[in-house]
Structure formats: C-alpha cells, structure tokens
Amino acid sequence: MRLIIAEKPSLARAIADALPGPVAREEGSLRVGDTQVSWCLGHLLEQATPDAYDPRYKQWRLDHLPIVPERWMLTPRHNARGQIKVLRSLLKQADSVIHAGDPDREGQLLVQEVIDYLGWRGPIARLLISDLNRPAVQRALERVEDNQAYQTLYHAAEARSRADWLYGINLSRAWTLTGRQAGHDGVFSVGRVQTPVLGLVARRDREIADFVPRPFHVLWADFQVEHGKVRAWWQPDDSQPLDDQGRLLKREPADELASRLPGAIGNVTALDAQKKRQAAPLPYSLSALQVDAARRYKLSAKTVLDTCQALYERHRLITYPRSDCRYLPQGHLAEARRTLEGACHGDDQLAGWLGGADFSLRSKAWNDKQVGAHHALAPTGARPDFSRLSATEANVFRLVVRNVLAQFYPHLEAREVKADFAVLDERFRAQGREILVPGWKPLFTTRDEAPPLPPLRQGEAARVVGHAVENKQTRAPEPFTDASLIKAMMNIARYVEDDAVKRTLRDTDGLGTEATRAGTIETLLDRGFIVRQSSALRATRTGQALIAALPEAATRPERTALWEQRLRAIAEGTDQAAPFLDALLGDLRTLLASADAGRMRQALSSAKGFEAPTRPKARKAGRSGTKGFSTKRRATKRTRSKHKEEA
C-alpha cells in the first residue's frame, strides 16, 4: 500500500481527487485503489514542555535557567492523538510513503517529524503542490522527488523550532519572575520575533508621545508664462534659518520677499525634462498583498491571510499563498492567457482589464532564477463563482488577478519636468508630470494625475501674478498600521542601527516569515501588548514596560533578522544547525544575566501607553508548571489551520 501524507485535509482531498479511480472515505484518510491519502492538521506534534524533561521545572524559578534539553522530545498536540493513531496504523501497513507537506520550511517539518516520530524507517518521496486544481495536482504527482533532497530544509525548520523554544521558555520565565518580584501579577512572554515587533511599535509610540511640533513656513508664487500659469515654491539658501530638511523656520524672510513679489518679472533659468518608463508592479508575495489590501480595504494582516487560505483551499482560485516570492516560473507564461481568461470569467471589472491585456508582451516577472520553493501568488485558472465568494474574498482575488494581468500591459511612460525660476535674485522651483502612455496604471488607480506644467522654454520671461506665505507645522510620525508594520517587518534593515548589520542584511531578509507575520501581530494583540485603535496599532502600558525592562538587544530586530539569515543558510546547505544553536545559547546566557527586578520595577512605574482591553485574568506562572504560559499556542482552530512558526 502506498501512503501519501498531506499537511491538511483540503490538500489530501485534492490529491485523492487527482488519482485515478473512485475515492472511498475511511477514518482519518481517503482510499483510492492501493493508495491511502491521509493528513496532518497543521502541526500534530509540539516541543515538550520543560517539566517533561524534569518534574522540578513545573515550578518557575530563576535558578533553573537556562533550561536546555540534552535530548529533544516532541509530544502530541491537544486533540491530535486521534489522527496520530490513524497515521501510526497506516504506516504499519505501508510499502512506500510520500511526504506531501506544503512547499516551505514548516511544511517540510510538520509532516516529516510525524513520520520520524512514528518510527518509519523506509524511503520517503516528496510531493510538492502549490495549486490545488486537479490538472496541477496530477502534474505534481508525475514529478515526485526523493525527500532526501529536502533534508536541509527540514534541519532549518527543526533548528528554528528548537531555537524558539529555548528563547521563549527561558526569557519568558526570567522576565515573568522578575516582573513578579516587581509587583506585576501576569506573564511577560518574550519571543524572538514578537518582541522585536513589539519594540518597533513601542518605540514609534514613544517618538509620537515625545514629539514637539515645530512651525515652518513656505512661500509660493504663481508665474505667468507664454503658455499658461505655473506655481513654484521658494528655495531659500543656507543664509536663511533652515532645519536639516531645508524648511524655513522663521516667517520674516518669507514675508519680506513676498512684499516685493507682486508684478515682479523673472525668467526660467533651468529646465530638466526626462521621459521615464516604469514597469508594472510584480505579482504578489503574501506580505506585499497584505500591505496593499490593508491600504485599499483596511483589512488586517490576519484577515488577508485567512482569505487567501480560503481562496486556495476551499475555492481553489489561487496558488499557494504563503509565498515570499514575487516572480513566476517561465513555464507558466504559455498558459497565462488561458489561466487569466478563466480567472476573469463572470466579473465585469476583471473582464475589462483582460480586454486590455496584450499577451505578446513579456515582463520581468517570468524568471525561473528568482523562483525558489514557491512562486508568486497567481490565479489557478479555475472559473470563480462570485456568488459563493464573500466581498472580502472577491476583493482579494481581484488584487491577485490584477497584478498578474498587469504583466501584459505596456510600461507606464511619463514626462517629468523640473523648472527653476529666478526672480528678485531668488530661486523658485516647480515640478510637473505628464502621462504619455498610461500602460498598466489604470488597473491600479482611478485618481487623476496632477496637471502637467505648460510648455516652457529656458530663458522665457515669467511674471508673478499671485503669491502667499503659508504657516505649517512638522508632524509626528504616524503610528503603525497592519500595512506599515508588515512592510517594516519585510524591510527590517531600515530599522537596524548597526551599519555592519545593515550591510549584511539583504533586502529579502525580514522579521518573521510570510507564514507568521500576521500571526505575530495577532499574538501581540491577544497577549495585551498592543491594541488596535481604528486602523492604528499602539503599544499598551504592559507592552511598553516589557520593552523598557528587557535588554535593548532583545527588543531590536538585528538578532532575529540575522537568525533568519542563518536559518536560510541551513536550508540552503551552507550552514549547520549545531553551530547556530550553540551561538544562540551563548546569547541566551548573556540576556538572562541581565534580568533585574529593579529595572523591571522602574519600567512598570514609568510606563505610559494605551490600556489593553479587559481579558480573563492570567493564571499565575509557576503554580501549575508551564500551563500558565507556553511559547506554543494551544491547538485552536487557527493553529491547526497553519499558525505554525512561533513568534
């Protein structure tokens, strides 16, 4: 008997439907001829709690730390024992096993760890599926590989799991216990991703709270030229009182110049006109989609993730969504017209966009060299039934289709003009943009562009026909939203202060992964460290206190971003898990040595932040072992679906 183990039931059903022959339902599996297709429910196993290694760890004590297992153990998750029993029975009957986890690091781990846990010692094949429609699954079944080729991916995921356990268990116990000494009755959970993300929010909130607005002033003048009117802004030189961004800090110089402007004659002294071509935005990665959907539809990152999962699993309209890639395989190009015609069926907006597509064009999106374990989100070509889609599902689906359709539109071409005017020995500047070829732009916005400058000639006369001095104020930074926080997590190098680390981090190295960023935000909300105020994400007093009490290194993104680099190197076979974990233990001991009740007491007394919503009182740490707090979340419906990587 051949046994195929999928990551979840929806994938198992898709595989069974793609096999030849009738499908028979059995307990915990589907039978098609001599093939049994069974499944996990996300992670069936989790890292054992500390007291599984030693009963004395049931009580939380500082002198126990750091807790470091000599031999790692896994235990079944809550409500997973039934499916583990099914898989154990099927493995005993199997002649061959196929691993059909999702095509990513965690998908590799969660199926393989179950196979290993249940004692299978035979060879394992690997089935990679990113599109649940029958033809795509059938093609994947014809390309089954040796699972041995994916062992470095497994080692990276296993190292990630163990590192998160070490980091979360030890630091959470340390700072919860020092919090108790300082009078705080609750759990301070610390994680290698969630805590730096909380640090981003807390520091931004402090910047907003500490911000003192400063007035500045602008002077504009309207110039009458041969072919129309141009508004230009005064460019004061360094002899004027300017801030570091060139803004005028005192109004008097502007008023003095303004008093001499009426009717003054000047001329165009410099003219710079450039024609620019801009390619369409690439197809979406999950995080890029979360950013755009949050901005356009005010959707939370978790809502976008859940919607994508529904479009992938239930409706089978899009490809595998948890992708960090924005490119598509070159082989998909030949099928693009058929795929997009199917995706656009039944929707006037999509059909209109399809009508403008030119399938003779080829964008840079089709690039095998840029495609790794996943490719960008794309429609599968299945015809959507919009009556069965929620409004959110329909909106997110249109975004995914739109960004692929845009690859078959011409470049946006525009003429950008900068013009300098000299009058009364002072310089004024105007800028304008004229759209020459709209290309893909109408798919993304219906807003009118600012009017272009009228035709200008260098040296032509310009007479002042209007002017004004305006008082303005510097503005505080905006609080984070789902969109801006996801974007910050994607581009974390911007928030890194160490120049050497900043140079080391590639643009693709972020905080967390595509699969975990939405869950990290939800974790911080659930644990009362941040709150949502309309679309803004703000740190609570508890969140601010934790960031103030921790060593700065634990609250900043450098360490975890470099962790991700090491994990990627392990996945690519250029690094090993053991040195990575050894380095982590060295860092962990240094961090634990800085746990200090006095610093915690000061942080709690001085913390300012937003009030978290009232929640059930947390169980006191240490009274019942780690059941009061665990770095692993309980196996709720959400975690079973796929909140797999710990924050």
Domain locations along the chain: 2-154, 156-210+478-641, 215-279+412-473, 286-408
Confidence of residue 16 (pLDDT cuts 50, 70, 90): very high
State which amino acid sits at residue 526: D
- Average pLDDT estimate for 542-562: 91
CA distance between the termini of the chain: 39
CA distance 491 to 596: 32
Is the pLDDT at 35 greater than 70, yes or no? yes
CA distance 133 to 141: 12
**What CATH number should be reported for the domain whose range is 215-279+412-473?**
2.70.20.10
- Residue whose token pair is 């309209």: 317
- 286-408 domain in CATH 3.30.420.40? no
Q: Which CATH class is domain 156-210+478-641?
A: mainly alpha
Strand arrangement, sheet containing 536-539 = 480-481, 536-539, 530-533
- Residue whose token pair is 């009232």: 614
Render the burial of 590-606: b for 16+ CB within 10 Å, e for the rest: ebbeebbbebbbebbee
| Region of poorest pLDDT, from 122-136, 268-282, 286-300 | 122-136
Is the pLDDT at 492 greater than 70, yes or no? yes
| Three-class secondary structure assignment of 117-135 | HCCCCCCEEECCCCCCCHH
H-helix segments, 47-131:
50-53, 81-93, 105-117
pLDDT tens-place string over residues 382-436: 999 999 999 999 999 999 999 999 999 999 999 999 999 999 999 999 999 999 9
- Average pLDDT estimate for 15-23: 95
CA 596 centroid distance within chain:
33
| Pairing mode of beta strands 96-100, 2-6 | parallel
Confidence of residue 504 (pLDDT cuts 50, 70, 90): low
Is the pLDDT at 457 greater than 90, yes or no? yes
Is the pLDDT at 3 greater than 90, yes or no? yes
H-helix segments, 593-643:
597-606, 637-641
| Region of poorest pLDDT, from 330-334, 382-386, 455-459, 505-509 | 505-509
Whether residue 375 contacts residue 323, with contact meaning beta carbons closer than 8 Å, is answered with yes
Q: Taking the model in full, what pTM does it have?
A: 0.86
Confidence of residue 142 (pLDDT cuts 50, 70, 90): very high
CA distance 332 to 379: 11
Is 284 a known active-site residue?
A: no
CA distance 139 to 621: 51
Q: What is the mean pLDDT of the chain?
A: 91
Query: Mapping DSSP to helix (H, G, I), strand (E, B) and coil, where does residue 299 land?
Result: coil
**What CATH number should be reported for the domain whose range is 2-154?**
3.40.50.140
Is the pLDDT at 284 greater than 90, yes or no? yes
- Average pLDDT estimate for 325-331: 91
Predicted confidence at residue 630, as pLDDT, reads 39
**Cis (ω within 30 of 0) for the bond into 613?**
no
Summary count for the chain: helices (H), strands (E): 22, 18
Q: Which is catalytic among the residues 284, 320, 409, 495? A: 320
For the chain, what is the radius of gyration of the CA atoms? 29
Predicted confidence at residue 493, as pLDDT, reads 82
